Amino acid sequence: MDSIFDIFLLEAVLNGVLLGGLLALLSLGLNLIFGVIDVVWICYAELVMIGMYGIWWLHTQQGLPLPLAMVISISMVAACGVLLHQYVVSPVLSAEPINQLLVTGGVLFFLQAFATVLFGVEFRNVGFRMPSLNLGDMSFSGARLVAFGVAVAAIGGMWWFLRNTYLGTAIRAISQDRGVMPLMGVNARQIYTLTSALGGGFAGLAACLLVLQYDVHPAIGLTFGPLTFLICVLGGLGNLIGGLVAAFVFAQFISVGGFFLQLEWGYVIAFVFFIAVMFWKPEGLLSKRR
Amino acid sequence: MNLRHFSVLLLVVVVLIPWAGLGKYPLHLMVMAALWGYIYTSWAIMGRLGMVSFGHGAFLGVGAYSVVLCWNLWGLSPWIGALIGVVATVVLAVIIGYPCFRFKIVGHYFALVTLALSEVVRLVIVALREQTGGSLGITPKSALGGGESYSLMALQFDSKLVWFYIMLAFWLMALWVWHQVDRSMTRLALQAISDEEDAAASVGIPVNRSKLQVTVLSAVMTCIGGVLYAQYQLYISPETVSGISISLQMVFGAIAGGMFILLGPTFGAVFLLILSEGLRILVGNDIHGVDQLIYGLLLVLFIIFMPEGILGGLLKRLKAQPAQSGQQSLAQRS
């Protein structure tokens, strides 16, 4: 009887939930951009990376207190989001979607190289240690718990914003019907700018949470970038709730798969699952649009 | 002399250049130019027909790792390893391609699914670290221990000159395949499909089969590119032959040169090589990443201002001029 209930399996499942919160936050930003502007920022993970470097640099190199460094970084990445949209995405908005993917792909290389030139390829750590929470034989990293909590709060905040504010409603409306919105008196450009800032801001927030748990290096975007896209596509590109569900599903595959087999196999299983679902339901698990 | 004579002359020059006493390094660059020209052309055979794949790293990686693993682990000649790689590639291409085309997964969904595939391949390579060496990469065991300069069975050649001609041969073969596809019904079918798929299907064009044919062709050619890369470079790692980075690089190379023109991808390969080597000379080896910086910037600028690529842009400009002078004379008359 007791062999069925493996405490470490439970730990993996719960860690999966914690991971899911973080992935959900990442997918939220990307889904927002896609839902409103209809563009996939392939360089999204690299924006997170820039945020992480920003925090590291401000805190360890310039001596700023960590919370201040985080706030500045979030603003910086939000600004980057706006710039990205303004100068890189806008010019190709009317071109084929593949061009939009490619142009943000160029930014991906650019940001990676930028970070390499500025900071080198070594792994950088913010040096912040949090205590672990111990429940019986299970141990949960404090940083992970905090990340989960903040992610859930941010998602909740975003939810409230979308439901209860004028701008939030405008955002939801645009993602439903882009063509009609200007006729309704909404300044589409303004909404795009705001959405880019929000997307960037979420990337910055994710950076804050990630920097507590992981070292940053120029290629770190490659570790969770593809994962984030796949989560969004799985949940239905542009579908915020779908992204959340998909994030938790993916996280479970990664965590439990990694528990039974080696770490990478968890990712492999998750990705194969993605490919399989694509064939079953190409528009995503929960997508309303097609 | 017309274009055809000029190209033949150019080809003869290229073939003969190494004998003019090129050093090892320039020869290496030429080998790389031919190899990447081959690989980018292989990608573009599919890319130009509306199927933009972000996952060709998967096929490149399968080819590269098949030959090296078969040789290192089981002593199987790379000839056999390559065959195994090709078979695996065909299977992979069909597994991904058939459902994608059947369920009408196109555009950026297709790009993202192929991206997933290339990442799966990369992750599997890393996960099997006992056999593949994981992220550290792997080197084929040398068959040239006894002072020989080449081994046909192990497909290892000491001489860069030999490699240059091998790569050149494959590159020419790729151009020929491109030309054949261009002239075939499949290409017309695929253009019709990319214009208006349902109409094409209604006229009796076997949409899925055409798409699948070109996909498998492109995949197999890329796989062989991986084989060549592994045997020449004698070192491969998951990040350099599979995954998102190399996949994007292939796309960029083909597009920068112009993916709708025969020599476009080759031009892109040469361009990228000149870029990275030139920057290395200018900036020096100390600052890593400057070439990638420019590369990324250029990709952005290209897509915004010149999506048809350098060669494509040039050709467009050349074609536009006679029309302009024609219009001028028309205006003068009236």
pLDDT in tens, B103-120: 777 777 888 888 888 988
Nearest to B288 among A95, A97, A121 (CB): A121
At B258 the pLDDT is 84
Whether B300 has a pLDDT exceeding 60, the answer reads yes
When scoring A39, A103, A109 by the number of chain B Cβ atoms within 10 A, the one with the most, hence best to mutate, is A109
Q: Which residues of B touch A108 (CB under 8 A)?
A: 248, 296
Whether B324 has a pLDDT exceeding 70, the answer reads no
Mean pLDDT of B16-29: 81
Q: Which residues of A touch B116 (CB under 8 A)?
A: 226, 230, 271, 274-275, 278
SS3 A133: strand
Cβ neighbours for A199, distance < 8 A, ≥ 6 positions apart: A29, A30, A32, A33, A41, A44, A81
For CA atoms A76, A79, A80, A81, the dihedral sign is positive
Ranges of each domain in chain A: 7-122+136-280
Query: Is the Cβ of A92 closer than 8 Å to some Cβ of chain B?
Result: yes
Whether B200 has a pLDDT exceeding 80, the answer reads no
Nearest to B297 among A110, A237, A274 (CB): A110
Q: Which residues of A touch B307 (CB under 8 A)?
A: 95, 99
Q: What does each of the 290 residues of chain A score in pLDDT, given as a tens digit?
A: 445 567 788 888 888 888 888 899 988 899 888 888 888 898 999 999 999 999 999 988 888 888 898 999 999 999 999 999 999 998 888 877 778 888 898 899 899 999 988 888 888 888 777 778 877 777 788 888 888 888 888 888 888 888 888 888 888 887 777 777 777 777 878 888 999 999 999 999 999 999 888 889 888 888 888 888 888 888 887 778 888 889 999 898 888 888 888 777 888 888 888 888 877 776 666 554 43
Distance from CA of A135 to the nearest CA of B (A): 31
Nearest to A103 among B96, B243, B300 (CB): B300
Whether B171 has a pLDDT exceeding 70, the answer reads yes
When scoring B46, B247, B292 by the number of chain A Cβ atoms within 10 A, the one with the most, hence best to mutate, is B292
Nearest to B112 among A96, A110, A233 (CB): A233
At B330 the pLDDT is 45
Query: Is the Cβ of A109 closer than 8 Å to some Cβ of chain B?
Result: yes
Whether B333 has a pLDDT exceeding 60, the answer reads no
Ranges of each domain in chain B: 23-243
Cβ neighbours for B179, distance < 8 A, ≥ 6 positions apart: B262
> In angstroms, rounded to a whole number, what is the distance separating the alpha carbons of residues B84 and B317?
45
Q: Which fold has domain A7-122+136-280?
A: ABC transporter involved in vitamin B12 uptake, BtuC (1.10.3470)
At A3 the pLDDT is 53
User: Cβ of A92 and B287 within 8 Å?
Assistant: no
Nearest to A99 among B127, B288, B303 (CB): B303
pLDDT in tens, A21-78: 889 998 889 988 888 888 889 899 999 999 999 999 998 888 888 889 899 999 999 9
At B75 the pLDDT is 85
When scoring B56, B92, B120, B122 by the number of chain A Cβ atoms within 10 A, the one with the most, hence best to mutate, is B120
Among the ranges A91-105, B30-44, B88-102, which has the highest mean pLDDT value? B30-44
Tokens read off for B15: 């073939």
Task: Using a pLDDT cut of 90, give the percent of chain A over it.
Answer: 19
pLDDT in tens, B271-296: 888 888 887 777 766 666 777 788 88
Whether B131 has a pLDDT exceeding 70, the answer reads yes
Query: Is the Cβ of A139 closer than 8 Å to some Cβ of chain B?
Result: no
Per-residue pLDDT band for B159 (boundaries 50, 70, 90) equals confident
CB atoms within 10 A of CB A189: 12
Per-residue pLDDT band for B86 (boundaries 50, 70, 90) equals very high
Q: Which residues of A touch B100 (CB under 8 A)?
A: 278-279
At B191 the pLDDT is 75
Mind giving me the DSSP string for B80-138?
A: HHHHHHHHHHHHHHHHHHHHHHHTT--HHHHHHHHHHHHHHHHHHHHHTHHHH-GGG-B
Instruction: Please name the residue of chain B whose CA is at the shortest distance from the CA of residue A40.
Output: B108
Lowest-pLDDT range of A119-123, A186-190, B62-66, B238-242: A186-190
Residue A216 dihedral angles phi and psi, to the nearest 5°: -105, 140
For CA atoms B308, B311, B317, B323, the dihedral sign is negative
User: Cβ of A282 and B105 within 8 Å?
Assistant: yes
Q: Kindly report the pTM of this predicted structure.
A: 0.84
Per-residue pLDDT band for B146 (boundaries 50, 70, 90) equals low
